[in-house]
Structure 1
């Protein structure tokens, strides 16, 4: 039997996710159902479904007496998330490299150039996601790609804080160039190693932000 997906709950979840990733809803902030239902012009049923979806993704925590709050990441959370990302993204690009067609690589080159020209961290975040999605997309595992997206969403809000990603664009771009070169050479092992190193650079930035906020 085919299960119908609740597109309203999905749309609300997407809107809430963007508010959290963009920093409009900060760590520890309560998600007041009445206010959010009015804001999105929906009933509380799809809103609660959306909140539960974000809880499963690790963006929100739901407490019996406090309701839902935006999850605040600890240093340990960051280490665990990036440890998983290295495994998942390293494997994704390893299996994807030899399947990438020239059109996809050309698109990745274009996104890489646009990323270097982007003026805001929000735009950079969008282009950075697209760049990696293009290089991972041929891995052939939809569940793996979904897990990568969820893990990225958990930490992306910290990358955007205080223009950290914008300030570090040159080093990130150099790492992207090396990854692209490995893909052009169809060198899967090198692409995986470079992706792991690239994620370690991002981990250090996010860890600094998380520790600074905690202090």
Structure 2
């Protein structure tokens, strides 16, 4: 089994992604290759490649005369991303149900309870992601799971807003409950339907937030 080596550009792309997702680099901020290379004590060649990687992942936009900037998502971007997420995540949970085991279900139920009692936004976000990943993990289509992860990464920097909402409304927990019940009753169609509805609902909330900024 071959292992793809982690290059300097890969590591730099990961660091830049962390800066974007943490808010240290904000929407519209310029990524000045020379300055970033100096900041990370590397040459401009791997930094240029790292920026290209982020462009391919949808986090950065490169303009001919302006250079690279952190991509700002608008309402149409959110619609596209969440429509794709709904389709892919609905299919992932549908396929996962064919191979679901009692241990995975027990862990998903535990995480659901922990999310309901958590009050700190970062912890809520971790539990929320773990809940979904547990229910998708038995899907045998690894490319499907990689696509889901890629779409999540495009909106990860906005997730802090959504995590804060978790403490303000029971809607997310109610939707998670319906997904969980469908899985407990071994009903793949209902699990897919409830997951699609949940993802689209989250997209509408995020879109409203972006439009109000």
Same fold (TM over 0.5): yes
CA contact (8 A) 1:125 1:156 kept: no
In 2, distance between residues paired with 1:119 and 1:140? 34
The verdict on how the C-alpha distance between 1:143 and 1:8 changes in structure 2, with shifts beyond 3 A counting, is same
Aligned to 1:138, what secondary structure does the other structure show?
coil
The verdict on how the C-alpha distance between 1:47 and 1:93 changes in structure 2, with shifts beyond 3 A counting, is same
Q: Indicate the residue corresponding to 2:210 in structure 1.
A: 210
In 1, distance between residues paired with 2:199 and 2:133? 14
Q: Indicate the residue corresponding to 1:122 in structure 2.
A: 122
In 2, distance between residues paired with 1:3 and 1:62? 30
Aligned to 2:137, what secondary structure does the other structure show?
helix
- Within a 5 Å distance, the mapping from 1:88-167 to structure 2 comes to 88-161=88-161, 164-167=164-167
What root-mean-square deviation, in Å, do the aligned CA atoms of Structure 1 and Structure 2 show? 2.1
Q: Indicate the residue corresponding to 2:23 in structure 1.
A: 23
Q: Indicate the residue corresponding to 1:53 in structure 2.
A: 53
The verdict on how the C-alpha distance between 1:10 and 1:106 changes in structure 2, with shifts beyond 3 A counting, is farther
In 2, distance between residues paired with 1:165 and 1:40? 35
In 2, distance between residues paired with 1:3 and 1:99? 27
Structure 2 unmatched runs, 5+: none
In 2, distance between residues paired with 1:10 and 1:168? 37
1:77 CA displacement: 0.8
- Find runs of 4+ consecutive structure 1 residues off by over 6 angstroms: none
In 1, distance between residues paired with 2:44 and 2:123? 32
The verdict on how the C-alpha distance between 1:164 and 1:212 changes in structure 2, with shifts beyond 3 A counting, is farther
TM-score, scaled relative to structure 2: 0.89
1:163 CA displacement: 5.8
In 2, distance between residues paired with 1:120 and 1:141? 33
Count of residue correspondences: 212
Structure 1 unmatched runs, 5+: none
1:32 CA displacement: 2.1
